[in-house]
Amino acid sequence: MAYEDFLRWKDTPQNGELELSVVIPAYNEAERIVPTIGAIASHVSALGFPWELIVADDGSTDDTVALVRQLGLVNLRLLEAERNGGKGSAVRRGMLAARGRYCLFDDADNSTPIEELDRLLAKLREEGYDVAVGSRAVAGAEEAHKGLLRHLLSGGLRLIVKLALDLGIRDTQCGFKLFTREAARRLYGAQTIDGFSFDLEILFLAKRWGYRVAEVPVAWVDAPGSKVDGLREARRFLRDIAHIRIQAWRGRYDTAQGRP
């Protein structure tokens, strides 16, 4: 039945109101993008509601764009960028283009299995949250194959975020987050950080503007082939925390586009 659902989604345009948009930011993901799309399409198509998949390419120089086009999925939209603008830039473009009632940001490496979507959807549908954050740092979460250096680095950054921003979220960087369409458009419409730590700004704005945010335990596997330079991104992470505090002090977020 799941395969029949997938074939129907593959060939039949989804018109009218969509229940879900899945946004995948991609930069030089030729080795992983097709399996990730296959896993997502197989699971979500079987859930029984209309949905779309958006691949927000970030100026890839490999075969990522060509491979996505060749799939021939009528409900997949490919957003291309002329140049690499950063992961945050790609996610923002995807979220602002999304038409679904709910909007999921999902990393291209499929580290968090798409099956975890069901937990996040329940938080928004049944409990009235505006944002559900997949988390590797709360009770019930599962992590596999995470290296010692990455473990130490992420633990240190989590402590810094807690002290500097006090977001009430232990894991801000897991690439698996679900928003209502209204929250996604307002939050990403006000985003100013285009790099790796854009999630910090989104969650800071969500708390500042009174959105209800749930942190949901998920399974996560450290996928091989990560393009993240941990030490370099840690420096940018600290710089972006300072940027957020300065923007808030200057009142930039109080007058930003998309403020509730």
| Mean of the per-residue pLDDT values of the chain | 90
Q: How confident is the model at residue 228 (pLDDT cuts 50, 70, 90)?
A: low
CA distances from 108 to 35, 111, 176, 210, 230 (A): 9, 8, 10, 30, 18
Active-site hit among 199, 222, 229, 240: 199
What DSSP character marks residue 253?
G
CA distances from 131 to 41, 141, 178, 183 (A): 22, 18, 6, 7
Which CATH architecture group holds 2-254?
Alpha-Beta Complex (3.90)
Q: Give yes or no for residue 2 having a pLDDT over 90.
A: no
First to last CA, the chain: 42
User: What percent of the chain is modeled with pLDDT above 90?
Assistant: 76
Q: Give yes or no for residue 62 having a pLDDT over 70.
A: yes
In this structure, the number of other CB atoms found within 10 A of the CB of residue 26 comes to 28
Q: Give yes or no for residue 119 having a pLDDT over 60.
A: yes
pTM of full prediction above 0.85: yes
Question: Is position 166 annotated as part of the catalytic site?
Answer: no
Question: CA-to-CA distance for 41 and 104, rounded, in angstroms?
Answer: 13
Highest mean pLDDT among 38-47, 136-145, 154-163, 219-228: 38-47
Q: What residue type is assigned to position 146 of the chain?
A: K
Average pLDDT over residues 84-104: 97
**Who contacts 127 (Cβ-Cβ below 8 Å, separation ≥6)?**
214
Question: CA-to-CA distance for 254 and 260, rounded, in angstroms?
Answer: 10
User: What percent of the chain is modeled with pLDDT above 70?
Assistant: 90
Q: How confident is the model at residue 220 (pLDDT cuts 50, 70, 90)?
A: very high
pLDDT for res 148: 47
Least confident of 66-80, 108-122, 241-255: 241-255
Q: How confident is the model at residue 234 (pLDDT cuts 50, 70, 90)?
A: confident
Phi, psi of 171 (to 5 degrees): -115, 100
Radius of gyration, alpha carbons of the chain: 18
Average pLDDT over residues 171-194: 96
> Which residue ranges make up each domain of the chain?
2-254
